[in-house]
Amino acid sequence: MSGAAARHGGDRVADVLHAHGVPCVYTLCGGHISPILSASKARGIRIVDVRDEATAVFAADAAARLSGLPGVAAVTAGPGITNTITALKNAQLAQSPLVLLGGAAPTALQGRGALQDIDQRPLVEPHVKRFFKLRRVRELGPAVADALALARAGVPGPVFVECPVDLLYDEASIRQWYADAGGKGTSVADRALRWYLGRHVRRMFDGSRDVVAPAVRSVDVPAASDASTGATLAALGKAERPLAVIGSQAVVNAAEADRLAAAVARLGIPVYLSGMARGLLGRDHPLQMRHQRRQALRESDCVLLAGVPCDFRLDYGRHVRRSATLIAANRSAHDAKLNRRPDVMALGDAGHFLQALAGRVAPEEASRHAGWLATLRARDDAREAEIDRQAAIRGEHVNPIALFRALEREAGDDAVFVADGGDFVATASYVLHPRTPLSWLDPGAFGTLGVGAGFAIGAASTRPDRETWIVFGDGACGFGLTEFDTFVRHGIPVIAVVGNDAGWTQIAREQVKMLKDDVATVLARTAYHDVARGFGAEGLLVTRMDEVEAALKRARELARLGRPVLVNVWLDRTEFREGSLSM
Ligand SMILES: Cc1ncc(C[n+]2csc(CCOP(=O)(O)OP(=O)(O)O)c2C)c(N)n1
Ligand SMILES: [Mg+2]
C-alpha cells in the first residue's frame, strides 16, 4: 500500500507494521496514540490492551524472544512513557529487540505546557538503541521501518519512536486545529502567530503526499571471522575438558533454534544452558549438565562462552580458571571482554558461530570426551538425587521442590515457563527441566520482579499453540495481578502458580541473618486465587501436598478450555536456597 493512500499518520505507522508482519501491538490507550491503534486494528494487527504500560513493554519483549522479530508496544505521552522505563531497561539489558511507539504533545506546543508534555528524550534515550524524534508526517513510515531493523541489528535491543499527536491525525483535522489555534484576531501579534502556525503546518505535511511506504529493511547479522572459528576449533581439538556455556544471545534468531540445537549436539562437548537458551537441547540431553556449573568451569581447560558475558552469574569471570583457554562468542565486544579478556574473541552472532563450528568439527572428536562427560554426569546425577531427597521432606503445607517435581510431570511437552520471583523461581530453575527451545523466560541480568504477567501475555499471544505457565513468587505476583483482567478479556489462558510463602523470602533470608530484622519483607497468606476470580478467571487454593497433583491437572484442563487460572500454593519453609546471594 502506498503512503499516498494512507489517510493519516497512524495509517503510515500501521502500514509499516503490517508490511513487516507484526502480528500484535501491546498497548494501554491514550488520545495521543489512538490513530496508531485503530489503523493497526484495521489492518488485522491484534491489539492487546493491558493495564499498565510496563506490561505492554514486557509483552513486546517476550514476543520478540519467542519469534525473533521485534515486539511492538505503543503507549501514550508523558506518564505512559515514564511507566515503561523499567521494562525498557530490562529489555535493553536482556538484549531483546522491540520497538516502542510513544505519543508526544503537538509539535508546535512542545515545551509550552501542553498536557502530558515533558522532554521525553533524556528519560528514554539512555535505555534504547535510538530515540527517533519526528517533526514531519513523511518521516513516520521510514522511522518505524528503521526502528524495526535497528532493534534486531548488531546487539539487539529496544528502539523508541516518538510520534507527536499532530503527525498522527488526518491532515484536514490538523490544519483546522492549527487554524483554530491561530484565532481570528487582527493585531500584529495575532497575524504573526497565524503566519508562524501556517508555516509550521506546511512544513509538517511537506512532502507527505508523495511518500511511498518504505520497504522492509534487511537486517545485518554480524558474523564472527573464519579466523576465530579456526582458532576455536584448534583450541577445542587440544582440550581435555572442554565446556560450553550458551546463553540468551545465542538464540536471538528464534526461528533457527532447532538448527542450533542440532549443531550443539554435534559439537559433542558438555554444555550448560542459561537464560533463553535453557531448553535448547530438550529435557534430558546427554551433553547437557544442570548442576555444579562452578566446579565444572573451574576444572575445564577450554571454556566456550556463547552469548554469555562474564558478569555476576560467572562471578565476573573468576569461575573460569586462569590457565583455561577462554573463547567468547558474542555480538557485543563489550560483553565479550567484560571483566576478562578472552583468548579467542568471536565477534558476531553466537548461534551462527556455534553452527559454523559444528559444520567443521570432526565426528570422532566427541568420543574423546567420554571420561570428562561421565565425571560431570555423575555429579549431575548426584545433585538430582539430592533434590529428590529434599523433595521427599514433608511439612504442614507444600514443599516447593516437590511442587516443581509435580509440575515437571504434569506440564505439557510444549509448556513455556515464565519465571518471576525470588527463591521460588530460583528453586524452579534447579528443578524444572524446560523441554523445548525457547520455553523458559526470565527477566535476565536486570533481575526485575514484575515481568511475569507481561511476559506471559507476549508468550501466549505469540505461541497460542503452547501452554503458558507463570512461576510466580507471591511478592512478584503483586506487580501483575491486575493483568488477570487482560488474560480474561483477551482469552489468554495462562496458568499462574503462586508460591505463597507469605514473604519476600529471597530478601528476608539474608536480611534476617545479617541484620536480625525482617522489616518490610513480611507478607500475608493472601488469597490471590480470589483476586483472580474477581477478575473473572479461575482461582485454585492448595494448602497441602496431597492436593498438588489434582490442582495442577485441573489448572491444565481449565487452560485448555481457554480459561486463565491462578493456583495459590501455600509453601513450607525450606533450606534449599540457604546461602545463595547475588551481588
Ligand atoms: C522490581 C524489583 N523490586 C525489588 C527487587 C528485590 N527482590 C529480589 S528477590 C525479592 C523477593 C521476591 O519475593 P517473592 O516474589 O515472594 O519470591 P520469594 O523469594 O519469596 O520466593 C525482592 C523483593 C527486585 N529484584 N526487583
Ligand atoms: Mg515469597
**What pLDDT score was predicted for residue 4?**
44
pLDDT digits (tens, 9 = 90+) for 377-410: 999 999 999 999 999 999 999 999 999 999 999 9
- Please indicate whether residue 452, judged by its CB atom, sits closer than 6 Å to ligand 1: no
**What pLDDT score was predicted for residue 581?**
60
**What pLDDT score was predicted for residue 214?**
73
**What pLDDT score was predicted for residue 211?**
64
∠482-484-489 over CA atoms, to 5°?
Answer: 115
Give pairs for 291-298: CB < 8 Å, separation 24+.
291/379, 291/380, 291/383, 291/384, 291/430, 292/376, 292/379, 292/380, 292/383, 293/245, 293/319, 294/319, 295/379, 296/243, 296/270, 296/272, 296/376, 296/379, 297/243, 297/245, 297/321
**What pLDDT score was predicted for residue 364?**
76
**What pLDDT score was predicted for residue 210?**
75
How far is Cα 569 from Cα 2, in angstroms, rounded to an integer? 54
Question: Is the Cβ–Cβ distance between 291 and 430 less than 8 Å?
Answer: yes
**What pLDDT score was predicted for residue 6?**
58
Question: What residue's CA is closest to ligand 1, atom 4?
Answer: 449
Judged by its nearest atom, the ligand closest to the C-alpha of residue 577 is 1
- Ligand 1 atom with the smallest distance to the CA of 424 is 21
- Please indicate whether residue 574, judged by its CB atom, sits closer than 6 Å to ligand 1: no
**What pLDDT score was predicted for residue 264?**
97
Which residues surround the ion ligand 2 when the cut-off is CB under 5 Å?
473-475, 501, 505
Backbone angles phi, psi at 504, to 5 degrees: -90, 75
- Ligand 1 atom with the smallest distance to the CA of 450 is 1
- Please indicate whether residue 480, judged by its CB atom, sits closer than 6 Å to ligand 1: no
CA–centroid distance, residue 20 to ligand 1 (Å): 37
Q: pTM here?
A: 0.97
CA–centroid distance, residue 177 to ligand 2 (Å): 53
**What pLDDT score was predicted for residue 1?**
42
Ligand 1, residues 507, 519, 578: which to mutate, most atoms within 8 A of Cβ? 507
Judged by its nearest atom, the ligand closest to the C-alpha of residue 505 is 1
- Ligand 1 atom with the smallest distance to the CA of 521 is 23
Residue ranges with strand state E in 336-432: 344-347, 416-420
Instruction: Determine how many CB atoms are found less than 10 A away from the CB of residue 474.
Output: 26
**What pLDDT score was predicted for residue 583?**
53
Q: Which H or E run contains 25? A: strand 24-28
CA–centroid distance, residue 521 to ligand 2 (Å): 9
**What pLDDT score was predicted for residue 582?**
56
Question: Is the Cβ–Cβ distance between 539 and 530 less than 8 Å?
Answer: yes
**What pLDDT score was predicted for residue 187?**
94
- Please indicate whether residue 474, judged by its CB atom, sits closer than 6 Å to ligand 1: yes
**What pLDDT score was predicted for residue 483?**
98
The amino acid occupying position 411 is A
* Weakly modelled stretches of the chain, pLDDT under 70: 1-6, 211, 213, 579-583
